[in-house]
Structure 1
């Protein structure tokens, strides 16, 4: 049976299970089981047991529930409200006003977590309730959070960059440095879009607060001190070499508990609610991760990623057309695989073609990360979409629709990266 028929069958199975109301994680696992049963000789049950256990017991994954718990603590105590009080005077005069807190928060937290899901979930727990309470529209609020949450992959430290650096034999330190300027530029594009959107939809943006003098703004900024201290503790523990990302997440949890206790907003009830809320959200994410891991294994056994990569390599395209073809290839692949799996399963076939086209491997690493970011918000298996669905209860199709403008901004970022490669390679060249 050829690859087109297999792919079509798996897509139909995926949508049929999603439409029937089956949980997302179980849907992904079910599609993987169908694929392995029909098109692979390996027993599906054995493969599923090994893969799900390996996914659930990953040490790297332990940072995720801790960061989510930190977000829950911030959400249920005065710390998230304090962050908004400190930021509001500075962004309330910008077009879009407090919508920019999604982008600013995700940009800052991306430098802490290195995970798109953790960034989206943690910042969402702080910003979505506050923006909703202040009257900001749900569509642009959730869409901007989904888009900005992907910055967790681009702004260092980044798990995807580590995986690419190992598979492509490229300096991970240079990759980290290369991600700084593109990450800042992409965040600026997101904020710019929010400004344009608000200018075209003035009636949907709540009115600004009363104007403040510079002295009053600085006085209100004191509310940012607890959050800045918390971020400084987490970032400082990572970049000083004192802690790994997982240990830094634990530092964040302890720090948020200490600060909320100091503000007298921590009680036994809020502690219990934050722990239960983090447990529920992480269990949802973990089930999706387990299903995605099994689907990745099934795709590897069936051989679809390898066959698609070989097909792209055989086309003999110019460097620019190769980049366009690879963008489309990875966006399609991102509908079925998580980012790390996309890199691992395809680099062996793609890299010789990229090297032959004389494309800089540092530049290509940043390109891969941005395209993987795009896959995070591409239905039907965009991971950030699922995280937000679990948090908001909205339909996945509605979330995908309101996120589309940010997907197209990332497409524009790929073109900017091609026309101005120095965005990615200038800083590493100075090392």
Structure 2
């Protein structure tokens, strides 16, 4: 069989297994087993055992369950309501007023969560009822939350960056540092659109609350101090070179436990719930990573990544053309798979092509995160859409429509980091210099 026939067979097999309701990690392993059994002389069982053990026992992956647990602990604290109370007084005079709490709140929580869905759910529980009570339109409230929730992937510490770093062999600490400026830029684009919307629709923006003095605003902002200190401890320890990403994750877990204890929300039940929630999420991700590692090995034995890279190279695409093709590919893939599956499933095929085109793998990591963010809000499998559907009881189609402007802003962000790659590379180079 030629490469095209083999590729089509494996793709059809994957979608048949996924369509039957089998877990994604097992589906990936099943397709890899088919590939190894039919097209490779090596024993599929031996290859699977060695590969899955190797992928699950890597030290680099240790940061992942720790950051997930940290997010789960904070998810069960009073952090969200305190954050709204601290942010609201400072946003009253911006066009769009309290709509900006979605963007700023998600940006802040993203820096202690690492998960897009957790960021979207936590901030949504806080802002949506309050914005509705004050008379803000549902479409812009829900759309801005869906878009801003994706910042959980881009602003470090990010689970998807850890997954990319492990699969593409790129420094996780460098990825974290590289994600800071693009994250701030994307949050700025979101807030800029809200300002534009408010200026175009002044009749839809409720009046400001009663004016507060500067000291009253400072007192209200006191509730932000714990989360700012936690962000400083986690990211500061990485940027200062004191801790690796894994050690910083342990600092984050300890800090979140202390924070929840001081808030009075830490008890045996919340501790157990956060630990079980983090374990369940990590086991799901680890199973996907293991299945994808086995599939990557099978692809290597068949030679598919090399042949595909050679085929793309013969197309004579410029680096920009290659990136646009990949962006389209990942957006389509995001209609069927979650972000982590997309990254681990494709890196074995994509990275040789990227390196051959002379694209910096660190820069490409941030590009991938931005494109996976788009996939979080593409139907029918956009995780943020599911989260918001459960919270608002609205149809997926409605949520997708009101989120569309923020999807286009993410495309604009991709173009900006291509035209100005220093947005990604400046801080990592500065830290090394």
TM (norm. structure 2) is: 0.75
Greater shift, 185-194 or 400-409, is seen at: 400-409
What's the CA shift for 1:304? 2.8
Q: Which residue of 2 aligns with 1:226?
A: 226
Superposition map of 1:328-339 within 5 A: 328=328, 338-339=342-343
2:363 maps to 1:366: yes
2:122 maps to 1:126: yes
- 3-state secondary structure, aligned to 1:150: helix
Greater shift, 368-377 or 104-113, is seen at: 104-113
2:147 maps to 1:150: no
What's the CA shift for 1:71? 1.9
User: Hey, what's the Cα distance between the residues in 1 that align with 2:172 and 2:280?
Assistant: 34
Q: Contact 2:146 / 2:385 at 8 angstroms: preserved in 1? A: no
Q: Which residue of 2 aligns with 1:7?
A: 7
Query: Cα gap change, 1:197/1:278 in structure 2, threshold over 3 Å: closer, same or farther?
Result: farther
- 3-state secondary structure, aligned to 1:14: helix
User: Hey, what's the Cα distance between the residues in 2 that align with 1:101 and 1:178?
Assistant: 25
Q: Which residue of 1 aligns with 2:44?
A: 44
What's the CA shift for 1:218? 1.9
Q: Contact 2:172 / 2:245 at 8 angstroms: preserved in 1? A: no
User: Hey, what's the Cα distance between the residues in 1 that align with 2:388 and 2:44?
Assistant: 31
Q: Which residue of 1 aligns with 2:135?
A: none
Query: Cα gap change, 1:110/1:36 in structure 2, threshold over 3 Å: closer, same or farther?
Result: farther
What's the CA shift for 1:173? 9.2
User: Hey, what's the Cα distance between the residues in 2 that align with 1:203 and 1:291?
Assistant: 53
Superposition map of 1:28-427 within 5 A: 28-91=28-91, 94=94, 100-101=100-101, 103-104=103-104, 107-108=107-108, 118-120=114-116, 122-124=118-120, 126-134=122-130, 135=132, 140=143, 143-145=146-148, 147-152=150-155, 159=162, 180-193=180-193, 211-318=211-318, 320-325=320-325, 327-328=327-328, 338-339=342-343, 342=346, 345-354=349-358, 365-367=362-364, 369-375=366-372, 377-378=374-375, 385=382, 401=400, 406-420=406-420, 423-424=423-424
Q: Contact 2:95 / 2:199 at 8 angstroms: preserved in 1? A: yes
What's the CA shift for 1:220? 0.8
Q: Contact 2:69 / 2:274 at 8 angstroms: preserved in 1? A: yes
For structure 2, the 5+ residue unaligned runs are 133-137
Q: Contact 1:190 / 1:409 at 8 angstroms: preserved in 2? A: yes
- 3-state secondary structure, aligned to 2:22: coil
Aligned length: 416
User: Hey, what's the Cα distance between the residues in 1 that align with 2:83 and 2:286?
Assistant: 29
What's the CA shift for 1:374? 0.8
User: Hey, what's the Cα distance between the residues in 2 that align with 1:125 and 1:425?
Assistant: 31
What's the CA shift for 1:139? 5.3
- 3-state secondary structure, aligned to 2:63: helix
Instruction: State the Cα RMSD in Å.
Output: 4.5
User: Hey, what's the Cα distance between the residues in 1 that align with 2:206 and 2:376?
Assistant: 31
User: Hey, what's the Cα distance between the residues in 2 that align with 1:205 and 1:31?
Assistant: 52
For structure 1, the 5+ residue unaligned runs are 355-360
- 3-state secondary structure, aligned to 2:233: helix
Query: Cα gap change, 1:247/1:340 in structure 2, threshold over 3 Å: closer, same or farther?
Result: same
Query: Cα gap change, 1:179/1:185 in structure 2, threshold over 3 Å: closer, same or farther?
Result: same
What's the CA shift for 1:81? 2.2
TM (norm. structure 1) is: 0.75
Cα deviation, 1:232-258, whole Å, max 9, x if unaligned, reads 222232233332222222222222222
Greater shift, 222-231 or 29-38, is seen at: 29-38
Query: Cα gap change, 1:206/1:344 in structure 2, threshold over 3 Å: closer, same or farther?
Result: farther
